[in-house]
Amino acid sequence: MYNRDKGVTPPYPFALYLLSQAIKAMKKIFPAVFLLLSVFVSAQQRKIDSLFAVLKNEKEDTNRVNSLNSLGTLLNRSGLYSAADSSGRQSLALAQRLNFQHGISGAYRTIGSSFYSRHNSPEANKNYTAAFRIDSANNYIWGLGFDYACLGLVKAQQGQFDDALKLYQTALKYLQDSKNEDYLFRTYQFIGLVNKKRGNYPAALTNYLKSLDEAERTGNKQVAGDDYMDIGNVYTEQGNDSLAMQNYMMALKRFGEINNPKGMGNAYCNIGNIFHDKNKNEEALNYYRKALEIAQETGDKEGLTNAYGNMGNIYEAIGNYPEALWNHNKSLEIDIEIGDKEGVAEDYLNISGVLTMQKKYNEAMAYTDKAMVLANELGSKLILKSCYEGKALLDTALGNYASAYTNYKKYIVYRDSLVNEDNTKKIVSEQMKYEFDKKQAEEKAIQEKKDVENEAVAKRQSIITWAVSIGLLLVIIFSGLLFSRFKVTQQQKQIIEEQKELVEEKNKEVLDSITYAKRLQDAILPPISVIQKYLPESFVLYKPKDIVAGDFYWLEKAGDTIFIAAADCTGHGVPGAMVSVVCSNALNRAVKEFKITEPGKILDKVRELVLETFEKSEGEIKDGMDISLLAISKSAATISWAGAYNSLWYLENGEIKEIAADKQPIGKADNPKPFATHTMLLNPPSEGREARIFYLFTDGYADQFGGDKGKKFKYKHLQEKLLANSKQSMAEQKKVLEEALAQWQGNHEQVDDILIIGVKV
């Protein structure tokens, strides 16, 4: 099953594809075209009408060439590709008679775009190349930027993504020099789209965010809507439905503000995909039906195939296979008609999925093979991943186990290349950088405005003060001095009030940024539900000192071994949080990439990775991490542990025992030694013997000030509290610790991040 997401559709993502019969009826005679178009009422239509009115009385000069090219552009955007081609050819003939070079290249681009939109890549490339040659000969910077971008679109349409990216990058240089903002936005989108198709999600997100930043700054709601859609698609592929939904809803809002029905239909489809992923099939179907209705009303064939494909997936999910096949075949029929190879491949996969559910394995395999041929031609990792997954399942059903194993391994390779730890961290980093840069730019703009206003006020005040002083100097010097002093005092008071408001406003904006960063940092913490799944009798007491924290907890499963850790990175707040991302990533790599399962050796590898990361800095960074790492192996019936400064406590037979940690951090140390691994047998509870309870912790709880004398809680007091409540359930133990901390702390400020993990095994 392959959900059809929808993002920017180059080169005119806001085009309205009108009825095909109307297109066939259009001839080269403009009055006939005018009469046909006048039945449609829209903002785009009014622009077309306006150009027709101008063309009626315009002379055969360069202005008419420009008007014809502008008309061709609008007709292309409205989906009237045959009429656009006719307009471009009339413009070309007139421009050649006048030897108007810019007009000639513009006409070739108009004609090329009409072929591109009809998926006729050879003819599109031919006309775009003709425009490029003319602009090169005349050193027309704006035109060259446009030409390189258009040629890149053709390469992307043909699946030649490396060539497309090179052309887009060259286009950016020319477009930046020419200050052509509209197509600059679009080129960033095109680069993002190609990177997404190749599975390079961080690069895709970087370019989508560049486009969004400029679009929001300049108030271009159409481009902003497209960008929100594309960003949502990146998060969907990475499995982050929450951020995907936020971006789709923002796209829907922007498209609604400019009354763009096609954009709204695409947004409805993508929102439906989120509900589908959550198995809320009825809600998903409602959104798909909204999208289908809009596509039918506007004649948007891409919207139709998108809606039919997704509705087919819903019917498959609820077991209505005949209806599912009908919808997928409708989608396939339209994709073949418009020449959308990627869409055809997705349709083949969807049909294969339904046939698989009907146990028609050989027919299903034939459709999967067709999809794979197109996916290889297009270089789409995302579709290839689904092809190999489908072939592995079908080979298993057909008894071809060796082939199934081979295909499953290839599926894993493509899956891991698309969704991996490095991609996720880069995407989080790009999003945080975007939000931070955006806030900085807003603060700079506000400050510059304040500076200008203050300077103007100061100049005006200076003039008034001098005029009054000179006028009154001969009358009464003393009164003049008092008046001048009064004005200066008032000015200082006003400046103080303005600066106070500015500081308060900046504090709010910084707080908003840090709050958003918390949501991103939470992404590296394992959900409590996952911890409860693997360790049912456990608790996690986690209280960051600030909005973001240096302390973090970590869990990973390798085979039948469960790893859980409590970690304390240098500092707290934003600096601590940044170090925690580095250290969490190092733990993941040590277990998942380097396949290490012994706690001591894991910490050795983590120290190596952390130092390697910080050595890239020009300055010396001494930050690091204290940690308590526990490994529980059911098959080996052992519990093993290693620690850096943070010891391990465990309760056995009514007594709390301690295993001391190595007195060295995860980071720079004077005489670093290998971390020791401590191992004990896993003794399940039996008659006369209770299960052990292990406690992993950082220093925040014991170091908290409070009580009648404002002293630290201390470790001994914490041990007594744990021992006194050891008979309670793990949930009750957490509650007792929270209440004890609150009572001890009283009105004292929390001094550090707090983390305690309890596990009964």
pLDDT score, position 39: 33
In angstroms and rounded to an integer, the radius of gyration of the C-alpha atoms of the chain is 33
Question: Average pLDDT for residues 217-245, to the nearest whole number?
Answer: 86
Non-local CB neighbours of 29 within 8 Å, separated by 6+ positions? none
More confident site: 476 or 327 = 327
With beta carbons less than 8 A apart as the criterion, state whether 418 and 199 touch.
yes
Decide if pLDDT at 312 tops 70: yes
pLDDT score, position 396: 85
**Identity of the amino acid at 415:** R
Decide if pLDDT at 274 tops 90: no
Non-local CB neighbours of 549 within 8 Å, separated by 6+ positions? 521, 572, 573, 576, 577, 580, 753
With beta carbons less than 8 A apart as the criterion, state whether 495 and 524 touch.
no
Instruction: With cut-offs at 50, 70 and 90, classify the pLDDT of residue 213.
Output: confident
Task: Give kind and range of the element (H or E) at residue 12.
Answer: none
Residue 502 token pair: 């500015």
pLDDT score, position 31: 34
Alpha-carbon distance of 91 to 586, in angstroms, equals: 61
Alpha-carbon distance of 267 to 248, in angstroms, equals: 6
Instruction: With cut-offs at 50, 70 and 90, classify the pLDDT of residue 182.
Output: low
pLDDT in tens, 511-539: 666 666 676 677 778 999 999 999 999 99
Task: Give kind and range of the element (H or E) at residue 699.
Answer: none
With beta carbons less than 8 A apart as the criterion, state whether 72 and 87 touch.
yes
Question: Average pLDDT for residues 189-206, to the nearest whole number?
Answer: 82
Decide if pLDDT at 545 tops 80: yes
Residue 578 token pair: 């940044």
pLDDT score, position 205: 85
Alpha-carbon distance of 582 to 602, in angstroms, equals: 15
* 77-81-87-91 Cα dihedral, nearest 10 degrees: 80
With beta carbons less than 8 A apart as the criterion, state whether 19 and 242 touch.
no
pLDDT score, position 301: 85
pLDDT score, position 598: 95
pLDDT score, position 214: 80
Question: Closest Cα to residue 12, out of 81, 69, 64?
Answer: 81
Expressed in angstroms, the distance from the first to the final Cα of the chain is: 41
More confident site: 604 or 462 = 604
Decide if pLDDT at 23 tops 50: no
**Residue-level length of the chain:** 761
pLDDT in tens, 367-422: 999 999 998 888 888 888 889 988 888 888 888 878 888 888 888 888 877 655 44
Other beta carbons within 10 Å of 500: 10
pLDDT score, position 651: 93
DSSP symbol at 550 = S
Instruction: With cut-offs at 50, 70 and 90, classify the pLDDT of residue 605.
Output: very high
pLDDT in tens, 55-75: 666 678 888 888 888 888 878
- Say which CATH architecture domain 9-134 belongs to: Alpha Horseshoe (1.25)
Question: Closest Cα to residue 648, out of 671, 680, 618?
Answer: 680
Non-local CB neighbours of 479 within 8 Å, separated by 6+ positions? 472
Alpha-carbon distance of 378 to 384, in angstroms, equals: 10
Task: Give kind and range of the element (H or E) at residue 112.
Answer: helix 101-117
Question: Average pLDDT for residues 706-722, to the nearest whole number?
Answer: 92
CATH 3.10.450.30 describes domain 528-760: no
**Which pTM was predicted?**
0.44
Cα→Cα distances 381→192, 342, 364, 415, 517, Å: 15, 12, 20, 9, 31
Decide if pLDDT at 709 tops 70: yes
pLDDT score, position 392: 87
Helices (H), 339-420: 341-357, 361-378, 381-398, 401-418
Instruction: With cut-offs at 50, 70 and 90, classify the pLDDT of residue 449.
Output: low
Non-local CB neighbours of 601 within 8 Å, separated by 6+ positions? 674, 675, 677
- Report DSSP letters for 179-191, one per residue: T-HHHHHHHHHHH
Cα→Cα distances 620→374, 416, 613, 617, Å: 51, 34, 12, 7
Question: Average pLDDT for residues 730-758, to the nearest whole number?
Answer: 93
In degrees and rounded to multiples of 5, residue 586 shows phi and psi of -65, -40
pLDDT in tens, 670-705: 889 999 999 998 876 665 667 899 999 999 999 999
**Burial group, residue 256, by CB count within 10 angstroms (0-12, 13-18, 19+):** middle
pLDDT in tens, 96-139: 999 999 899 999 999 999 998 888 889 999 999 999 999 999 98
pLDDT score, position 433: 47
**Identity of the amino acid at 219:** G
Non-local CB neighbours of 152 within 8 Å, separated by 6+ positions? 163, 164, 165, 166, 167, 168, 171, 187, 190
User: Mean pLDDT for the chain?
Assistant: 81
Instruction: With cut-offs at 50, 70 and 90, classify the pLDDT of residue 173.
Output: confident
Lowest mean pLDDT among 3-12, 159-168, 173-182, 332-341: 3-12
